[in-house]
Amino acid sequence: MAAVTSVYITWVTGALLGGILLMPLFKPAGKRVTLAGFVDMFRRYWLHIAVVFSIYVWKDLLDSADRILMANARLDMTPFVYAVEGDLTLWVQQFFLSEPLTFLATHFYVAGYMLVTYMATLYFVYFDDRWMADRLFLAMFYVYALAVPFYLFFNVRVTGDFIPGMETLAYNLTPEIQTWFTRIDPFTNGMPSLHIGLPFAAWLSLHRWDHDNRWRKFRIFLGVFCLLVGFVVVYLGIHWFVDIIGGMVVAAVAVQLSERSHARVWHWLDERAFNARLAWLLADLSRPLKVLKGWGAGMLDWLKRPSAAQTSSVIALMLLATGGVLLYDATHQDFPAEGVVWPEEAVGAGGWLVALEETEPFSANITIWNLSTGESYQRQFSFDDEWGEFPIELLLSEGHVAVWHGYEVRFLRFDNLERAAGVWLTGPIFEDIVLMDMPDGEKREIILNDGVVEVHSTLHDWEPLPNQPAGDVAMIAAGAGSVAYVEAGSPTRVTVEALDGPTHSVTVELNVTVDSLFDAQVELLTGTAVDYVNASVREVVLAEGWLAAVVNVSAVDRLVLVDLDSGEQRILGDPMFPVAAPSLGYGHVAWQHQQFLNSLDATEETLDWDVRFHVISENRSYRLHGEDAINQTAPQVMEGHIAWLQEGDGDEPPEVRVHTLGETFEPYSSQILQFVTILMIPLLVAWSLQRQRENGSRDEEE
């Protein structure tokens, strides 16, 4: 990802240099800029700097949790925001739209934000203005802390991803910039806008505490910056006007919190006394015990004589703890399917999941889970070695499972798993077999035999396709009463034949072309040019009037979803990075994806496969995992679930993991919510009475 890194480094370097070059313009009167000052500021304000830059540490963690939370809970508030302000942002974008403005606004959006963040943290510590540093640094910290609950539980998507006709101009400026944004931004953290929140908090802080006007020029600069960035985030298709209002409100509350807490916080974290306090504390082991004892006594006093402030603290902590429990529950929606020791393959259809484990040559166990009831079943299969060694494969439809070994296929019905398996000795070794259930509940085996498609009934009677292709067939798929095939002579054309009603067929020419800029970026990442002329289909899946196919264009494989009724096609996933193993059904598409893979400079985190899924009705994709170095492969879409095969960590065996698409919160989460709801009533009554008593006491004193 050298090109992506170079874009980021350019922005960071420009922001740092810009902040340093502007120091003489905004410095307080009588102050000088020297090289030694940069070293000295870290020595004097290292805790202040750590507090502000800790934001970047938890931002990555929270963004990862937010992506998973969106995939699990779909806490999407964007429709409500759109109902409030409609197409206001679209009008702004269309009125001012121009390529030069888009270019300038995109770089200003990123580098300008970095510049102001660096300036707001650099200037006050460099020029040793502890009065402002104590207050402003804490206000900036509070801005992000206050935004976290909104980012997790009040997801608002970027305007260009929601409003019809609006574009995410910044994200799509170049492939490198798009990839960079995709890596660091979940695109659902619109409310509140930190691009407004942080600079507005800095402006408010200066307006409130810069009593001698030493920072007057910088305050004016921040005010102008807030106006410009407000326009930019709307124009680029990123934020709503409501997001801007939210950023301003969060900034105002953060400054208020800083006013109330800065003295206490920096009493303990003042760098001038911190080392001395720590040395005093550790010089005698009895001192930490005394400190802890003092804290314990203070807590007991609080329990004896609670005040409104303390009760409000309990309410806040209770809400925080409850939110943490719900967050954990909502981001841990997948679980291992128990009962199989070392799964080598897993397939799913309907409400059934089946895993295969080869126990020894010519023998295999299959484990079958009924996901709607939680029950599991195990069957063992042994094959005659006289046929020779062949791979053992699973075949699945919504009503049947089959185990295929060369010349032999064993069948089981899901509605009668105790029955002996049906056996079909095929004779020839077929190139491929897929199962399909018919409306009457009986299965069909769709066979690819020496380039010819054959349909076999329950009694294995052969029948041709209604419209047998003229040329050799290279690939077959089946689903929803139809058969799909790809002819060897037309490697990007898929024909779908219906078998469950009046004979008809649909032929689709797959299109995976993208902007040439993205193709150029693919060549930089792989060292191979994209080749549309020799493109070919590698995998096809079919279900419910939709078709999904993986198409190889030499340098990369791309996934395309086709609406067979309208002919509409859309590319799923990022077309710059490899995809494989699509699964389709119940309004969802799942696949494995090597997002951000640079083949010429691969890392463990980018070489591993991750599972993603697409909700067709929303036209929106989600990823199920945070960044890791563990392979998640062979996803399977089922009714209400997505399953996949996950490799073991070290010597651990692989697992079949299941993600639930239905209920987000477990019963214990609902019980916690119920308990907190009931407990809030007496706590709020107590808080109200305490507040009235304390206000009455103040009135009497006055």
Q: Where are the domains of the chain?
A: 7-25+33-271, 290-333+664-702, 510-629
- Write the Ramachandran bin of 121: left for phi over 0, alpha for psi from -120 to 50, otherwise beta: alpha
The DSSP secondary structure of 414-458, one letter per residue, reads: GGGTTSPPEEEE-SS--SEEEEEE-TTS-EEEEEEETTEEEEE-T
- b/e burial code for range 371-384 (CB count within 10 A of at least 16 → b): beeeebbebebebe
Four-point Cα dihedral 58, 594, 1, 531, nearest 10? -150
**Contacts (Cβ under 8 Å, ≥6 apart) of 630:** 608, 646, 647, 649
Residue 549 token pair: 């196919």
Task: Output phi, psi for 480, to 5 deg.
Answer: 55, 40
Output the 3-class SS for 65-101. HHHHHHHHHCCECHHHHHHHHCCHHHHHHHHHCCHHH
Sheet holding 400-405, edge to edge: 392-396, 400-405, 408-413, 422-425
Q: Is the pTM of this model over 0.85?
A: no
Tens digit of pLDDT for each residue in 21-78?
888 888 888 788 777 777 778 878 888 888 877 777 766 666 666 666 665 556 678 8
Rounded Cα distance between 208 and 192, Å, is: 22
Helix (H) or strand (E) holding 246: helix 241-269
What is the C-alpha separation between 641 and 656, in angstroms, rounded?
12
Buried b (16+ CB within 10 A) or exposed e, 541-560: bbbeebbbbbbbbbbbbbbb
Residue 427 has a pLDDT of: 81
Distance CA(206)–CA(28), nearest Å, equals 13
The per-residue pLDDT for 296 is 66
Please state the three-class secondary structure of 515-570 as a single string. CHHHHHHHHHHHCCCCCCCCCEEEEEEEECCEEEEEEECCCCEEEEEEECCCCCEE
Residues of the chain by 3-state class (helix, strand, coil), percent to 5: 45, 25, 30
Return the residue matching tokens 């109330």: 260
Report yes or no: 343 and 652 within 8 Å, Cβ to Cβ.
no
Are residues 611 and 624 in contact, defined by beta-carbon separation less than 8 angstroms?
A: yes
For the chain, which ranges sit under pLDDT 70? 1-6, 58-75, 184-186, 275-285, 287-288, 291, 294-309, 323-333, 458-460, 501-503, 626-627, 662-674, 692, 694-702
Which residues 6+ apart lie within 8 Å of 429 measured at CB? 390, 406, 407
Q: Which of 358, 166, 135, 352 is nearest to 257 (CA)?
A: 135
Gap between the Cα atoms of 470 and 490, Å rounded: 11
The owner of tokens 């085996």 is: 445
Q: How far apart are CA 172 and CA 187, in angstroms?
A: 13
CA pseudo-torsion sign 379, 639, 646, 65: negative
| DSSP letter string, 349-403 | ETTEEEEEEEEETTEEEEEEEETTTTEEEEEEEE--GGG----EEEEE-SSEEEE
pLDDT of residue 311: 74
Q: Report the side by side order of strands in the sheet with 655-660.
A: 334-336, 655-660, 641-646, 632-638
For residue 355, how many other CB atoms are within 10 A of its CB?
Answer: 28
| Strand stretches in 168-263, DSSP E | none
Which strands, in side-by-side order, build the sheet including 493-498? 473-479, 482-487, 493-498, 505-509
**DSSP state letters, 473-515:** EEEEEEETTEEEEEETT-TTEEEEEE-SSS--EEEEE------
Sequence-separated (6 or more) residues with CB below 8 Å from residue 553: 512, 530, 531, 532, 535
Q: What is the pLDDT at residue 63?
A: 64
Contact (CB, 8 A) for 151 and 66: yes
| Residues 649-654: contacts with CB under 8 Å, at least 24 apart | 653/341, 653/342, 653/343, 654/342, 654/343, 654/344
